[in-house]
Amino acid sequence: MNMYEIITKKKLGKALTKEEIDYFVSGVTDGSIPDYQAAALLMAICMRGMNDEETFLITDAMTHSGEMLDLSVIEGIKVDKHSTGGVGDKTTLVLAPMLACCGLKVAKMSGRGLGHTGGTIDKLESIPGFTTTLSDEDFIKTVREHGLTVVGQTADLAPADKKLYALRDVTATIDNISLITSSIMSKKLACGADAIVLDVKTGSGAFMKEPGDAIALGKKMVDIGKRAGKKVGCVISDMNQPLGTHVGNAIEVNEAVETLRGRGSAELRELCLVLGSVLLVMSGTAPDRQEAVSMLSEALDSGRALDKFMEFVRAQGGDASVFDNDALLATAPLSRDVCAPCGGYVKRISCSEVGMASLLTGAGREKKEDVLDPAAGLIVARKVGDPVSAGEKIATVYASDEDRLERAAEKLLEAYEFSSEPAEPLKLIHEIIM
């Protein structure tokens, strides 16, 4: 067996065997297959596709390409959640404490921001003292003692994905459902949770622009996860505008804390209730989604989820006193309002441009090595369907210097489209797959 034959076989549209897929994944992981051959096979996969069996096999090989976390020493049902990436997506910060209050054990590894999308780890690190790096022992101890932990993904888990993702990123081979499935599910399966809920975003701020493609991806990931012996469900949620109103790092933590205090975004609350209810039902904690929603609502409305969030912050070294007496994390020293150039209705918002505007404030990275400004970001005051009058504030940008403020405000205004005709508000949940 050699890579030349494997590439040729896929180029001709033939299905690869387990041996061939294992050969490819282990060769990529140990570096014995050169990048040009790996990239050629990735392109052949994009052009010819993989069937369900091949998708399962490549996911399985990638899952086992490195360390596998063993969470069996933690009592109870271990759960995990994954989002395919969005703008203003601070769901984990609200959902994880809600789930812990309902008795589930949240053992979560998260990522950093990528392109115009934000990352949970960057958001958490905006809390003074908060550490996102724990040893495997401390990871397990924290889940056992507090019911939840969120840390950065370690390089030892699914290392094949790290290499393949970097290659896909520069060879136009990201957008293949089998490759995306294997990339996401290998990382999730290596983390060892019993039940996983996937939040697949669709719309202008997501990499799956069309709901139909997002549903196909969701179904594929659920099937692969179930075949690997896990309980997996998926929610297809809208990303045609930011989730909630706040986009950035500390700014998003503020919105999450406000939501835990019962005063934040109704949309964020709704998404947390839907994602959480899928996990509660799959794990057998609630008999149906209705009962699950009332358990989760009680956790929020009683203030227990807020207390659990503060406990979680302290457990990972964060200074929870910054939130004392209804306080929030600091925002940037400079701010500027963005105003509607005409009256009418917000017809459309380019969500990826909102993400780019946030990046321009300093809240995201233009290059991998860029250092984030934790306090920078933006708050949108008007969303799709809202009426606006000429000159009215539609958003505010926050940054540490005038140049960033100016560029971000310009970009944010470009993201908005207005019409004189009323526009329908967007629906948040497109589909639930269980």
Residues that bind ligand URA (CB under 6 A): 84, 165, 174, 179-180, 183-184
Comparing CB distances to ligand URA, the nearer of 289 and 365 is 365
Comparing CB distances to ligand URA, the nearer of 184 and 405 is 184
Q: How far is the CB of 165 from ligand URA (least distance, A)?
A: 6
Tell me the two tokens of residue 64: 């086992």
Comparing CB distances to ligand URA, the nearer of 183 and 254 is 183
* Secondary-structure breakdown of the chain: helix, strand, coil percentages, each rounded to the nearest 5: 45, 15, 35
Tell me the two tokens of residue 241: 């505008």
Q: List residues with catalytic annotation.
A: 82, 161, 168, 183, 187
Comparing CB distances to ligand URA, the nearer of 166 and 390 is 166
Comparing CB distances to ligand URA, the nearer of 62 and 281 is 62
Q: What 3 state SS string does 180-206 have?
A: HHHHHHHHHHHCCCCEEEEEEEECCCC
Comparing CB distances to ligand URA, the nearer of 158 and 388 is 158
Task: Tell me which H or E stretch contains 281.
Answer: helix 266-282
| Residue 51: half-sphere exposure toward Cβ, Cα within 13 Å | 8
Q: What 3 state SS string does 92-159 have?
A: HHHHHHHHHHCCCEEEEEECCCECCECCHHHHHCCCCCCCCCCCHHHHHHHHHHHCEEEEECCCCECH
Beta bridge partner(s), residue 339? 393
Q: How far is the CB of 82 from ligand URA (least distance, A)?
A: 8
Q: How far is the CB of 240 from ligand URA (least distance, A)?
A: 18
Q: How far is the CB of 330 from ligand URA (least distance, A)?
A: 31
| Position closest to ligand URA via CB | 183
Comparing CB distances to ligand URA, the nearer of 140 and 198 is 198
Whether 222 and 233 have beta carbons less than 8 Å apart is answered as: yes
Q: Report d(CA 161, CA 143) in Å as an integer.
A: 26
Q: How far is the CB of 84 from ligand URA (least distance, A)?
A: 6
Q: Report d(CA 353, CA 16) in Å as an integer.
A: 40
Q: How far is the CB of 189 from ligand URA (least distance, A)?
A: 13
* Residue closest to 39 by CA, chosen among 207, 184, 166: 166
Tell me the two tokens of residue 26: 């282990």
Q: How far is the CB of 183 from ligand URA (least distance, A)?
A: 3
* CA 153 vs CA 111, 187, 220, 349: distances in Å: 6, 9, 23, 32
Comparing CB distances to ligand URA, the nearer of 84 and 154 is 84
- At 378 the three-state DSSP class reads strand
Q: How far is the CB of 87 from ligand URA (least distance, A)?
A: 15
* Residue closest to 129 by CA, chosen among 322, 365, 328: 322
Whether 418 and 345 have beta carbons less than 8 Å apart is answered as: yes
Sheet (strand 246-248) strand order: 246-248, 377-380, 393-399, 334-339
